[in-house]
Structure 1
Amino acid sequence: MTASEFEFSADQLAALLDEANHAPWESVRAALGGVEGQPHPRIGWLTAHLAVTKREYWGLIAAATGAPTPPDGYGLTRLMAWEVEAARALDAGALARSVTHAGERLDVAGLLRLNARHTIWHAGQIAALAGRPRTA
């Protein structure tokens, strides 16, 4: 598949991120909503990892497009809301700009899709761990 087979507008990419981050089912918010009591320690690592990688993605986007980077003090919840609006603000030219992530060249739109896939991947892991009791 080529990048041209997946042409999304900024609004569509923002909606994709919003669903990955906030949908009532199958999102980070939904997965975290299922955590009760003392969370499994891996959940903390996963949420920190998501925040770090989202900041990395947006650093690459900012360098390629001049878009802003997320505010330093934002934790994962505020970062997820921020990135939806930041994605919505990108124009078609910005979405087509090239970035390199993990040694792979892709356009900004492709990086935003990767961000959504990565988010959902970890949301599933969080959901799987949400009901597991913490072990010492």
Structure 2
Amino acid sequence: MTFCANDLAALLDEANHAPWESVRAALALIDGQPHPRVGWLTSHLTATKRDCWAQIAAATGAPAPDDAAGLTRLMAWEVDAARALSEEALHTRLTFSDGDMTVAEALRLNARHTAWHAGQIAALANPVRLA
């Protein structure tokens, strides 16, 4: 399956920011003190996104994200960064998550991974409290 840069940017934008079933939507469900696992999940997403883009930058010469960017800024940045990738860059091979893949495949993995953890955050957003 082949995706252009705009398609990949749209996938990331939806996983990150869609009104439903995204990281932003899941975080918005949290009312009060979040479950401790939510902190781990957001830190994990930040680290894996940063690692993905570091690998892309090393393989293609594309810019790497700002080291000081938290998850919210990183999610916005990566949508624009994906949109700016050339067709040649998308076909560049790299090693990510212990696998040999193209940049496009790494971005699809990034979007799936983001959606997976968004679901986990949503499930933890309002845990049932028993008396």
Q: Percent of pairs identical after alignment?
A: 67
Contact 1:39 1:133 in 2 (8 A): no
Q: 2:82 aligns with which of 79, 83, 87?
A: 87
Q: Partner of 1:8: helix, strand, or coil?
A: coil
Cα distance, 1:133 vs structure 2: 6.3
Question: Corresponding residue for 1:18?
Answer: 13
Cα distance, 1:73 vs structure 2: 1.2
**Which consecutive residues of structure 1, in runs of 5 or more, have no partner in the other structure?**
1-5
Question: Corresponding residue for 2:47?
Answer: 52
Cα distance, 1:62 vs structure 2: 0.2
Cα distance, 1:102 vs structure 2: 2.8
Q: Partner of 2:127: helix, strand, or coil?
A: coil
Q: 1:113 aligns with which of 108, 112, 127?
A: 108
1:39 aligns with 2:29: no
Count residues in correspondence. Answer: 129
Structure 2 distance, partners of 1:133, 1:56, is 34
Two-structure CA RMSD over aligned residues (Å): 1.0
**Which consecutive residues of structure 2, in runs of 5 or more, have no partner in the other structure?**
none
